[in-house]
Amino acid sequence: MTRTAKELAELIGARLEGDGAAEVQGVAAPERAGARDLIYVEAAKHSERAGASAAQVVVAQPGLSLSGKTVLRASNAKYAFAKAAAILRERVPIARGVHPTAIVAPLARVHASASIGPYAVIGEDSHLGEGTEIGAHTVIGAACWIGDHCRIHPRVTLYSGVRIGHRVEIHSGAVIGADGFGYAHGEGRYLKFPQAGIVEIADDVEIGANATIDRGSLDDTRIAEGVKLDNLVHIGHNVKIGVHTVIAAQTGVSGSSTIGDNVIVGGQVGIADHCTLESRSVAGAQAGIPTGKTIRSGQTVWGTPAREIGKFKEIYVWYARLPELAERIKELEARVGKG
């Protein structure tokens, strides 16, 4: 969608410097941009790339000089650029209308403006809100509730009873609401412990490709507003995740753990069962958090078993110097004698 620099500045809350009539209709990296692509610069070291770009309009942090360009000045240039991109870029529709091959159960309630792709299956008593798009081959179980303006890509599975808020995006291959991994052991075998809870996902959540979120056992699994889960993330039964928490790819959260608000979890982190990551804590990539452990609010942890990053580094620096320590012990022994 084409916008003038002036229009865009207003829409994203930036200060216009230069030609307000300059038109933009897409976003790009500086090297790939055409005259009508919007680019952005965050750091002085990238000013040259921006200056050399064919782009006419640049979102830039205060203090960066960009002669010859129309500048949309914003203190958080990356965020302003993302806002602009959301305006300029048309999203590829996931479905258009309800495809004749879609199977919608008689008692499903589908908003007139919702779209359903080829071969999608919508279960009995499920609800699809206004403007929500369901991709080809996606299977929505019975009694699911999906809010407005959701984007459920092709080949997603929702087991029965999953509840999804508004503006949620779920990528292909994700499986929401499968049974948790819970068994009772007896008579030499494992018997399934009831997985009778549901999954609740709040507004503005995004879930990556092939991620899995299990339903609760006797409780529910709950993902709060604004949470972003990357590809191949695993969320176990009864897990609670607070608002605006982000979890990078291939991380696993075991049953009944609680993650607070605005937590950042790196890739391939393992969080065992019954852990608590308090709000604003950070777990570095590949960290391992043992059963029942609490990570305090604001704390950053690394390693397996995870410990506070300052402590981790204090130990780690000596780990790296172990051969030297061993040599020094040997020298001391040579001087003192071994007895």
Which residues have a catalytic role annotated? 237
Q: Which region among 1-9, 14-22, 49-57, 186-194 touches a second copy (by CB under 8 A)?
A: 186-194
Interface residues for a second copy in 114-153 (CB under 8 A)?
117-119, 121, 135-137, 139, 141-142, 153
Among residues 73, 65, 69, 1, which one has the least CA distance to residue 30?
Answer: 69
Shortest Å, Cβ 251 to a second copy: 9
Using CB under 8 A, count the residues that bind a second copy.
Answer: 110
Shortest Å, Cβ 236 to a second copy: 7
Q: Which region among 47-55, 61-69, 126-134, 176-184 touches a second copy (by CB under 8 A)?
A: 176-184
Kindly tell me which of 112 and 187 has the beta carbon lying closer to a second copy.
Answer: 187
- Per rule CB under 8 A, is residue 192 in the interface with a second copy? yes
Interface residues for a second copy in 239-278 (CB under 8 A)?
244, 246, 248-250, 252, 254, 266-268, 270, 272
- Per rule CB under 8 A, is residue 11 in the interface with a second copy? no
* Contacts of 260 by beta carbon, 8 Å cutoff, 6+ apart: 242, 245, 276, 277, 278, 279, 280, 281, 297
The one among 209, 278, 300, 308 contacting a second copy by CB under 8 A? 209
Interface residues for a second copy in 73-102 (CB under 8 A)?
76, 78-83, 85-86, 89, 92, 101
Q: How far apart are the first and last CA of the chain?
A: 84
Binding mask 13-32 for a second copy (x = CB under 8 A): -------------xxxx--x
- Per rule CB under 8 A, is residue 36 in the interface with a second copy? no
5-11: list long-range contacts, CB under 8 Å, 24+ apart: 5/57, 5/70, 5/72, 8/38, 8/57, 8/72, 8/84, 8/87, 8/88, 9/72, 11/83, 11/84, 11/87
Cα gap 256→107, rounded to integer Å? 34
Distances (CA, A) of 136 to 126, 153, 246, 286, 307: 17, 7, 27, 34, 44
Q: How many residues does the chain have?
A: 339
- Per rule CB under 8 A, is residue 154 in the interface with a second copy? yes
Cα gap 17→11, rounded to integer Å? 15
288: enclosing H helix or E strand: strand 288-289
Interface residues for a second copy in 303-332 (CB under 8 A)?
303-304, 307, 314-315, 318-323, 325-326, 328-329, 331-332
- Per rule CB under 8 A, is residue 298 in the interface with a second copy? no
Question: Do the Cβ atoms of 156 and 135 come closer than 8 Å?
Answer: yes
Shortest Å, Cβ 68 to a second copy: 21
